[in-house]
């Protein structure tokens, strides 16, 4: 049996093995991956909503939760398509909503955050219940989030709403991750 030779750019210079890069890593390097994070205090039984607007372009928008964690109270996370809302402001230039390559390129998608009032929640997609505290079972994200990817429709709005499930105030961290690509179309 003979050896197969690879071009030097396909070989990791440190390990001398074939370099393998997953899709997230590749899209980060291409400048197509984005993160939005927000840390808030959520009063007892209160909700916080933001809107993800996808572009009317040829790019596919791959979305998945990145991190959801709560300090004291369990929360409900809803992700709905086609909500009706008022208020909010475009947070696309926010420092946490940035190209993962740390360039100044803004995503084609927009995040509408601030004081968003939902008048119709739209069509429910996944609903998650997240426990409180610091145990690993009470924080979502990490490797499991890669299996929760949703390919979003173009030129659409999506509601991300977190609701405190108790009367106790809680500090909440929410992070979302998406990438915008046009390499793989049906």
Q: pLDDT: is 133 or 29 the higher one?
A: 29
In this prediction, residues 19-40 reach a mean pLDDT of 77
Instruction: Please say whether the beta carbons of 170 and 68 come within 8 A.
Output: no
Say if 176 falls within a structural domain: yes
Say if 28 falls within a structural domain: no
Considering only CA atoms, which of 136, 130, 9, 10 is closest in space to residue 76? 130
Mean pLDDT, the chain, rounded, equals: 76
Say if 149 falls within a structural domain: yes
pLDDT bucket at 146, cuts 50 / 70 / 90: low
Domain holding 154: CATH number? 2.60.120.380
Say if 15 falls within a structural domain: no
Instruction: Please say whether the beta carbons of 88 and 51 come within 8 A.
Output: yes
What percent of the chain has a predicted confidence (pLDDT) above 90?
11
In this prediction, residues 2-19 reach a mean pLDDT of 70
Task: Convert 5-23 into a string of H (helix), E (strand) and C (coil).
Answer: CCCHHHECCCCCCECCCCH
pTM: 0.76
3-class DSSP assignment, residue 92: coil
Q: Which domain holds residue 99?
A: 33-181
pLDDT of residue 94: 54
Q: Is the pLDDT of residue 93 over 60?
A: no
In this prediction, residues 78-102 reach a mean pLDDT of 73
Say if 6 falls within a structural domain: no
Say if 116 falls within a structural domain: yes
* Tokens read off for 130: 């997240």
pLDDT of residue 46: 92
pLDDT bucket at 97, cuts 50 / 70 / 90: very low
Say if 54 falls within a structural domain: yes
Say if 13 falls within a structural domain: no
Number of domains in the chain: 1
In this prediction, residues 90-114 reach a mean pLDDT of 62
């Amino acid at each position: 049996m003979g050896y197969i030779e690879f071009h030097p750019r396909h070989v990791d210079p440190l390990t001398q093995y074939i370099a393998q890069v997953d899709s997230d890593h590749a899209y980060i390097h291409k400048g197509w991956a984005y993160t939005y994070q927000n840390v808030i205090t959520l009063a007892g039984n209160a909700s916080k909503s933001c809107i993800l607007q996808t572009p009317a372009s040829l790019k596919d928008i791959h979305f998945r939760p990145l991190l959801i964690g709560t300090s004291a109270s369990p929360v409900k996370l809803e992700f709905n398509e086609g909500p009706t809302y008022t208020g909010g402001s475009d947070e696309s230039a926010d420092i946490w909503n940035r190209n993962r390559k740390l360039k100044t390129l803004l995503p084609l998608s927009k995040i509408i955050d601030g004081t968003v009032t939902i008048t119709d929640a739209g069509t429910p997609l996944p609903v998650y219940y997240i426990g409180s505290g610091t145990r690993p079972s009470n924080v979502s994200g990490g490797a499991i989030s890669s299996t929760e990817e949703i390919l979003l429709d173009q030129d659409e709005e999506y509601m991300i709403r977190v609701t405190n499930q108790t009367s106790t105030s809680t500090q909440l961290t929410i992070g979302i991750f998406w990438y915008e690509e046009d390499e793989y179309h049906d």
